[in-house]
Amino acid sequence: MTPPAVTPGAGDHLIDISIPVHEGTPEWPGDTPFSCRWTWDMRRGDSVNVSCMSLSPHVGTHADAPFHVDPEASASESIALDAFVGPATVVDVRGREGPLARADLGVGVIRGGRLLLRTGHGIAAGTFPDGWPWLSPDCVVALGREGLRLVGVDAPSVDSRHSTTLEVHRAIFGAGAGVLENLDLREVLPGDYELLAAPLRVTGLDAAPVRAVLRPLLP
């Protein structure tokens, strides 16, 4: 079920922009998909249901840690919460091709330094996309001078589909900002929102699952 379209200033309505995680949620090709088994099952006569799941932390909506691209960098337990909570600007770049320059974003101020890109090439419809637009490293540097704190995308990566160097990840982390991937922005209009997307407090990993929510900002 997709979230309803809401214009900024519509009140306190919460818009869930997370990807549901289940068997069949598209994973990055070659990564570990979601699977579930039951440790205890009431259908077998057990007193409770207790499940056990296996998946890559990159399945569904998640925050990348710098450790994802640098073995000497900080891991998932050190992801800064304040980057994932606060004012954010949704920018629609559907129909564009990457790499995107700062001028291609078509907006001046990025609220709270948190930029969410609606590329139209996410996994929310149940398939893994062939490609999507992405920010150029120079664009990230320019945003860094403006106080960048987070780049979020509906695509599976902030880098291009076929990047092996992950320069955009490195540029974002180099600016001291966070990375949020696999959002569901299909029904979210461009504009300013409050983002609530705290990463799960797991340790030693290269990424952490996230439940991401938007709340329209009052004018």
Q: Is 169 a catalytic residue?
A: no
3-class DSSP assignment, residue 106? coil
Positive or negative, the Cα torsion across 216, 15, 151, 123? Answer: negative
Catalytic residue selected from 58, 68, 121, 169: 68
185 to 51, 67, 75, 77, 167: CA distances (angstroms): 30, 26, 27, 26, 24
DSSP-H helix ranges across the chain:
137-145, 167-174
3-class DSSP assignment, residue 193? strand
CA-to-CA distance for 111 and 91, rounded, in angstroms? 11
Q: What is the DSSP letter of 32?
A: P
In sequence order, the β-bridge partners of residue 106 are none
- Of 153, 212, 217, 213, the C-alpha closest to 191 is 217
Active site amino acids: 68
